[in-house]
Amino acid sequence: MQAIPIAENVHWVGAVDWDRRLFDALIPLPQGTSYNAYLVQGGDKTALIDAVDPTMTRVLMDRLADGPPIDYIVSQHAEQDHSGAIPAVLGAYPQAQVVCSPQGKSLLTAHLGLNEAQFMTVDDGDSLSLGGKTLQFVHTPWVHWPETLSTYLHEDRILFSCDWFGSHLATSDPLLQDHGRVLLAAKRYYAEIMMPFRNIIQRNMEKIEHLDIGMIAPSHGPVHSDPARILAASRDWISDQPKNLVTLPYVSMHGSTRVMVDRLIDRLSGHRVPVQRFDLSATDLGELAISLVDAATLVIGTPTFHRGPHPTVYYATHLANALRPKLAYVSVIGSYGWSTRAVEEVNALIPNLKVEVLPPVLARGYPPPESLAAVDQLSDTIAQHHAAQGWDLPTEG
């Protein structure tokens, strides 16, 4: 297998996982993924930046086979999809040192059982010369573990960012130029993995603002050869300003909740407030996460199931709380049979969301006219709040 050049004496040596459909036994991967590793060859020394998932060790070793000996393995992130092949690399190049943050050393020791003597820890701002190639290490914690590093290659203006700016997108071309497709996949990745750390990422962005970045090389998905696009998109995703958008996940067992959902959408459409609707009995939760990157308001549609919300709503609401999106408002609509505590239980599921809870609308059985009028009132309230804030309409990607 070949090493693919991305700059002079800088090669992509990763592995494409076309068939993987789930990450962390949780996150859907509709387009597979890649585990990117990069070989940086200086006049004196050679560094491997990240490794690959242990299931793809053979691919990495094959790509390295005809290259120079490795002196340094820069482990930017200890999660196994980037570190799992390090023991095999050390087996082939026993003189190599593992370069990482101090927290990275602790985590790599715990997860891979590496020998302490094999580490070289680097502080924020430290540099390592390979001879005509200089690696500068930037501590960028919580993208998305506490130990995460980014590495800036001065001479080639490349920022290696590991998971940060990554995308789960399997392609045959590490330099894929299909920017729209890459940005959408990167937004999904941000939504699913990075969004809970939005505030910390704002600080990490400040740390790289002064760098002259000509290329961003993440450890999943294609390289960003036009970094202005992904940087602009990322600034938008992590900003404190939501969009004029309602996210509406719902389940309907017998159609009553769906009537209320459709009424809300119709009324909001009249106000020119976009709604993204997700039938939780069929939706890809990654799509819901993408919507939550931008949404100002979350309206949860649920029938009552044993007094509480439907289990799929319970799960989706728990997920929304974990992702900590920049929502401003939340409400609940839905139908019940004889009694309900759906609203109380939904509200108890969202302690992380710093939101105003708008009056819910619960109908007993098929929604009577007064319940539909209450849905209209809720729609009007949402539209008024959005208009008062002057939030932008969402854009694609």
Q: Does 17 bind ligand FEO (CB under 6 A)?
A: no
- Cα separations (Å) of 265 from 220, 297, 389? 36, 13, 20
**Residues 124, 141, 350: CA angle, nearest 5 degrees:** 160
Report the SS3 class of residue 376. helix
Cross-strand partners of 41: 46
Cross-strand partners of 97: 72
CB 144 → ligand FEO: shortest distance, Å? 6
Q: By CB under 6 A, which span of 12-20, 78-86, 196-204, 259-267 interacts with ligand FEO? A: 78-86
Peptide bond into 179 cis (omega under 30): no
Question: What sign does the CA torsion over 271, 272, 273, 276 have?
Answer: positive
- Name which of 197 and 336 has its Cβ closer to ligand FEO: 197
Question: Which residues lie closer than 8 Å to 183 by C-beta, 6 or more apart?
Answer: 229, 230, 233, 397
Quickly count: other Cβ atoms within 10 Å of residue 48's Cβ. Answer: 27
DSSP state of 132: S
CB 79 → ligand FEO: shortest distance, Å? 4
- Name which of 216 and 374 has its Cβ closer to ligand FEO: 216
Interhelix angle 369-389/256-270, rounded to 10 degrees, is 40
By C-alpha distance, which of 296, 297, 314 is closest to 305?
Answer: 314
DSSP state of 79: S
Quick one: which of 17, 50, 71, 81 contacts ligand FEO (CB under 6 A)? Answer: 81
CB 36 → ligand FEO: shortest distance, Å? 10
Whether the Cβ atoms of residue 308 and residue 345 lie closer than 8 Å to each other: yes
- Name which of 51 and 130 has its Cβ closer to ligand FEO: 51
CB 223 → ligand FEO: shortest distance, Å? 15
- Name which of 37 and 99 has its Cβ closer to ligand FEO: 37
Q: Which residues in 88-117 contact ligand FEO (CB under 6 A)?
A: none
Quick one: which of 17, 79, 192, 345 contacts ligand FEO (CB under 6 A)? Answer: 79
Binding mask 165-204 for ligand FEO (x = CB under 6 A): ----------------------------------------
Cross-strand partners of 5: 11
Q: Does 82 bind ligand FEO (CB under 6 A)?
A: yes
Q: How many whole angstroms separate alpha carbon 8 and alpha carbon 159?
A: 15
Q: Which residues in 125-154 contact ligand FEO (CB under 6 A)?
A: 144
CB 333 → ligand FEO: shortest distance, Å? 36
- Name which of 24 and 396 has its Cβ closer to ligand FEO: 24
Question: What sign does the CA torsion over 229, 232, 234, 237 have?
Answer: negative
- Name which of 216 and 362 has its Cβ closer to ligand FEO: 216
- Name which of 84 and 334 has its Cβ closer to ligand FEO: 84
Residue closest to ligand FEO, measured at CB: 79
Q: Does 220 bind ligand FEO (CB under 6 A)?
A: yes
CB 163 → ligand FEO: shortest distance, Å? 4
Q: Which residues in 58-77 contact ligand FEO (CB under 6 A)?
A: 77
Q: Does 50 bind ligand FEO (CB under 6 A)?
A: no
CB 166 → ligand FEO: shortest distance, Å? 7
Report the SS3 class of residue 185. helix
**Measured in whole angstroms, how far is the alpha carbon of residue 349 from the centre of its chain?**
22
Residues at the interface with ligand FEO (CB under 6 A): 77, 79, 81-82, 144, 163, 220
